[in-house]
Structure 1
Amino acid sequence: MDVFVPAVGLAAVGLAIGALSGLLGVGGGTIMIPVFRLVLGMEPLVATATSLFTIVPTSLSGTISHVRNKTCVVPLGVAAGLGGALMSPFGVRLAALSPTWLVMLTAALIIAWSAFKMFSKALKKPAASKAVAGVAAGAGAAAGAGAARAAGTAADSRAAEGADAPAAQEHGARRKLSRKQLAIGVVIGLAAGLASGYVGVGGGFLMVPLFLSLLGTSMHEASGTSLLAVMILAVPGVIQQALFGNIDLLAGVCIAIGTIPGAFFGARLAPRVPDRALRLVFGCFLLVAAVLLAVNEFGLFGNR
């Protein structure tokens, strides 16, 4: 009974983490690390290692749903994942050589930066849509009432496309990429892999904003593609952390029991959520995680 109750609690937490993981395209480490540190009182390296361990089955579950929904650009995900897999062990090694407080504060800073990028993207979208609508309305007024109605309809359609990411924009599985775009994906993966190994997260918090800004994917495509890359790049880091003996297997398995079905559900839900709303939710999620980690490392929770 003493073990059963905490195990059920961790599985329930994992269910919520998995749902956010599948919805937002992250491995879930940005939530798991604060949970492991603040709730379970794990040491920083154990928290990051256990998080990385749990990320693999979580990402696999979400990836399956995203591929079925055609919201995953598979070649890009593989390219970024392989790049990340090359760098993830270096991140793990670097974390082992760094002060533990530096690992956690680095995680908080990287996550906060990603939150800022996500908010800036989300808040720019309505302004762009209004500008398009205004130009279309002016042209329609000059051309006559009939043309104005047509222009207004076109503007509304473009605005809806930016806000709601319709199905036509979501067929990531059929998107063709140039060699340059794939190379950019590998570079993004290299950066995400280093960060993943160092701070124990999947790297989706870094890849999603970069897929959006550098490769022009939709938010839904970025989420699905990121999960595939996360699944691949986390594996070498997990193996290395296991060899170091840093993984709390019991806690990791209990969380994974919840994250696997949660990620599947979140990925199924993702195409139904408007693109802008998804960006805002992702930004809020990242900002809260960053604040919790930073505050904890300054000792304000009294558990250091």
Structure 2
Amino acid sequence: MELVLLAIGVGLCVGVVVGALGAGGGILAVPVLVFGLGMPAHSATASSLIIVLITALASLPHHARNRNVDWRNGLVFAGVSVVGAVLGSRLSALVPEHLLLTLFGAMLVAVAIAMLRRALRTRREERAEAAAHGRAVDADCAETVATHDDPVLDQPGPDTVEAADGMLRHHGEPELPTTPARPSSPRLPLVIAAATLTGFLTGFFGVGGGFIVVPMLVIALGLAMRRASGTSLLVMIIATITSLLARLGTDVQIDWVTTLVFAAGSAVGGILGGPLSSKARPSTLALLFSVLLGGVAAVTLVQTLL
């Protein structure tokens, strides 16, 4: 009974993180299943895929209703990730558990640093945007200033418009500049590489891959942080399903009772966490995500190496 209650409680917390950030379920589920619930590492990665899948399915509707899911780019990104997911799933079963967890911790350290830098950069952009918006605009000037329903600007307006500076702004966030020539082709190789890497990491570590998808959707496709978080859930669903199917025929065993109880709590948390993302600054979401990754990385490496 204590194990069930622990699985429900931790699953609820994981779900809140996934619902609010659009990522993070697997990075929490794997260490908890291994160090908290005593599950073998390979079984934990498979169970984590199920947990992430159910949680993402529960979290996606909220983001879809708020038009924070880019269906076209998300489906394309997920489709490219399938190859990496199959390869990663097959390779994971061949790696010793100790090495698997060590690599998992090292990966989290690198991603935490990258996301921290992104959070600080986004915070500076938000402050610059708020300062620029606070200046009075000459009534005789034909400039169009974007207004949004955003906690930074605190004004209602359209979801995405083009401001006078030539930047697309979504919920107050600057996206990539619009240029008449070759707006996306230079980033195509980056998108393909990122999608393949996402699939591989999903299959290999049993994580949703959101910690890679979110920054790649922001950097490579120019999506706003909140829209990237919602779109990442769609990618996670397809990548986790593929990774689970690729594990068929291997020796990996799944503790279905613990997994489904954990997933149930995580799904409820995902429903509760979705609305939280609309109330927080994008930079705050990124900062919390980076701190979370750093903490999980430290625990994983200490437990594994010692």
Determine helix, strand or coil for the equivalent of 1:97: coil
Q: Residue 293 of structure 1 corresponds to which residue in structure 2?
A: 300
Q: Residue 142 of structure 1 corresponds to which residue in structure 2?
A: none
1:86 to partner: Cα distance: 2.3
Matches within 5 A, 1:210-221: 210-221=216-227
Aligned length, in residue pairs: 279
| Contact 2:84–2:200 (Cα < 8 Å) also in 1 | yes
Q: Residue 43 of structure 1 corresponds to which residue in structure 2?
A: 40
- The letter of the residue matching 1:29 is G
Q: Residue 280 of structure 2 corresponds to which residue in structure 1?
A: 273
Q: Does 1:253 align with 2:263?
A: no
Which of 85, 91, 95 does residue 94 from structure 1 map onto? 91
CA distance in 1, matches of 2:6, 2:305: 27
> CA 1:128/1:256 → structure 2, altered by over 3 Å: closer, same or farther?
closer
After superposing the two structures, state which structure 1 stretch, 237-246 or 224-233, moved more.
Answer: 237-246
Q: TM-score, normalised by structure 1?
A: 0.80
CA distance in 2, matches of 1:133, 1:61: 34
After superposing the two structures, state which structure 1 stretch, 113-122 or 14-23, moved more.
Answer: 113-122
Determine helix, strand or coil for the equivalent of 1:267: helix
> CA 1:131/1:276 → structure 2, altered by over 3 Å: closer, same or farther?
closer
Q: Residue 191 of structure 1 corresponds to which residue in structure 2?
A: 197
CA distance in 1, matches of 2:107, 2:154: 27
CA distance in 2, matches of 1:56, 1:164: 34
5+ residue gaps in structure 2? Answer: 160-169, 173-182
> Alpha carbon RMSD of aligned pairs, Å?
3.3
| Contact 2:184–2:221 (Cα < 8 Å) also in 1 | no
More helix by proportion, 1 or 2?
1
> CA 1:83/1:110 → structure 2, altered by over 3 Å: closer, same or farther?
same
- The letter of the residue matching 2:294 is L
> CA 1:54/1:162 → structure 2, altered by over 3 Å: closer, same or farther?
same
CA deviation digits over 1:13-42, x for unaligned, max 9? 111111100111115010011101111122
Identity %: 27
CA distance in 2, matches of 1:27, 1:132: 28
5+ residue gaps in structure 1? Answer: 138-146, 172-177, 300-304
CA distance in 1, matches of 2:135, 2:39: 62
CA distance in 2, matches of 1:189, 1:64: 23
- The letter of the residue matching 2:297 is A
CA distance in 2, matches of 1:127, 1:53: 37
Q: Residue 17 of structure 1 corresponds to which residue in structure 2?
A: 14
